[in-house]
Amino acid sequence: MDIHQILKKLPHRYPFLLVDRVLELEPNVRIRALKNVTINEPFFGGHFPTRPVMPGVLMLEAMAQTAALLTFSSMGQDADEGQLYYFVGIDGARFKRPVEPGDQLVMDAELLRAKSGIFKYKTRATVAGELAVEAELMCTVRSRD
């Protein structure tokens, strides 16, 4: 899935769209996506000026956007169909290495459970095969109204 297809699935836009490409997608099961981290990211100006590091909350957001792509693709929905994707919970978040400009963040999300409109995912992100962050994310899809 390229950026044009991603833009159809997610309502996020620059500077908050944090997925550049979907590498693998198995509907209702798992997804693998990519974020190219560049020095031009707006957050690097202040986090941190002498040692730019991607904020952990944005790594979690990138993994949630990846999970949202899995959900919307599995449901056959696009962003303009009146649905938004919200965080419900984050469990066991662990940050293992910093993510810096020039890195490619490869994000994996596996659907663990979908019940009563709540989706639970096992997520992880790596850089050059090395674990950067992992967490269990819970999200829900709700009407925009």
Domain count, the chain: 1
Mean pLDDT (the chain, rounded): 95
Other CB atoms within 10 A of residue 110 CB:
17
Tens digit of pLDDT for each residue in 33-55? 999 999 999 999 999 999 999 99
Show which residues are catalytic.
Answer: 47
Residue range of the domain that includes 100 = 3-143
CATH code, 10: 3.10.129.10
Dist CA 15 CA 2 (whole Å): 18
pLDDT at 77 over 90: no
pLDDT for res 75: 86
Dihedral sign for Cα atoms in the order 79, 81, 82, 85: negative
Tens digit of pLDDT for each residue in 91-133? 999 999 999 999 999 999 999 999 988 999 999 999 999 999 9
pLDDT for res 120: 97
Q: Which two tokens stand for residue 7?
A: 């833009």
